[in-house]
């Protein structure tokens, strides 16, 4: 397993629409393992492939490190599609590609998701709570978007300096960052 550098705001790969995965193979399984390792080392609970510089529709999620979610299994989600949403919930979010920035975001509370796992088996499953939140956040990365795109213009102005510093690479994090 390897720890991969994390790409931050300003890197082009984060604004690209990622490509669907056509099959599961050894290279994909290695990427999945490396992404879990990278995410755990960075104390993250979700990671999308574009965040490690790979423009593919793959995300990993593991919320079991958070209190009250110890029993939740890690998730490998390939080519996800949201079939249905229910309700609405507002929560604070952060992102390994935006070190130091945390803002509240409103999203659907429950999602019905169609996706494939690391063996390319298809699932249709309902997610709520923190898993629904993390999956939706990570899916935005697959569409070349970031959670800051959802903030109102006033909040965007307030974090403008911080965003520019991240863009310049003028930041520190407790995990490995890709060079600017």
Residues 24, 121: Cα–Cα separation, whole Å: 9
Closest residue by beta carbon to Zn ion: 95
Identify the residue among 13, 60, 76, 95 touching Zn ion (CB under 5 A). 95
| Binding to Zn ion in span 27-46, by CB under 5 A | none
Distances, alpha carbon 115 to alpha carbons 22, 81, 125, 128, 135, in Å: 13, 6, 8, 16, 11
As given in the structure block, the two tokens for residue 155 are 């909040």
Annotation marks residue 138 as catalytic = yes
From 138, 172, 174, 179, the catalytic residue: 138
Is the separation of the CB atoms in 79 and 116 below 8 Å?
yes
Is the separation of the CB atoms in 59 and 22 below 8 Å?
no
Judged by CB, which is closer to Zn ion: 58, or 95?
Answer: 95
Judged by CB, which is closer to Zn ion: 84, or 100?
Answer: 100
Nearest to 7 by CA among 32, 38, 40: 38
The span of 30-38, 79-87, 94-102, 160-168 binding Zn ion (CB under 5 A) equals 94-102
In the complex, what is the shortest distance from the CB of residue 92 to Zn ion, in angstroms, rounded to a whole number?
13
Establish if 139 lies at the interface with Zn ion (CB under 5 A). Answer: no
Please report, as ranges, the residues that interact with Zn ion according to CB under 5 A.
95
Please give the positions annotated as active site: 138
């Amino acid at each position: 397993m390897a720890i991969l550098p994390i790409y931050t705001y300003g890197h082009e790969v984060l604004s690209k629409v990622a490509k669907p995965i056509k099959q599961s193979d050894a290279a994909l399984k290695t990427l999945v393992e490396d992404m879990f390792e990278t995410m755990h080392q960075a104390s993250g609970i979700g990671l999308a492939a574009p965040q490690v510089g790979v423009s593919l529709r793959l995300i990993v999620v593991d919320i079991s490190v958070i209190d009250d979610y110890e029993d939740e299994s890690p998730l490998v989600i390939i080519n996800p599609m949201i079939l249905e949403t229910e309700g609405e919930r507002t929560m604070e979010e952060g992102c390994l590609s935006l070190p130091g920035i945390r803002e509240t975001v409103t999203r659907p509370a429950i999602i019905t998701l169609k996706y494939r796992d690391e063996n390319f088996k298809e699932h249709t499953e309902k997610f709520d709570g923190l898993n629904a939140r993390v999956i939706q956040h990570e899916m935005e990365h697959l569409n070349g978007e970031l959670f800051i795109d959802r903030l109102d213009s006033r909040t965007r102005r307030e974090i403008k300096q911080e965003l520019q510093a991240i863009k310049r690479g003028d930041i520190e994090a407790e995990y490995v960052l890709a060079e600017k």
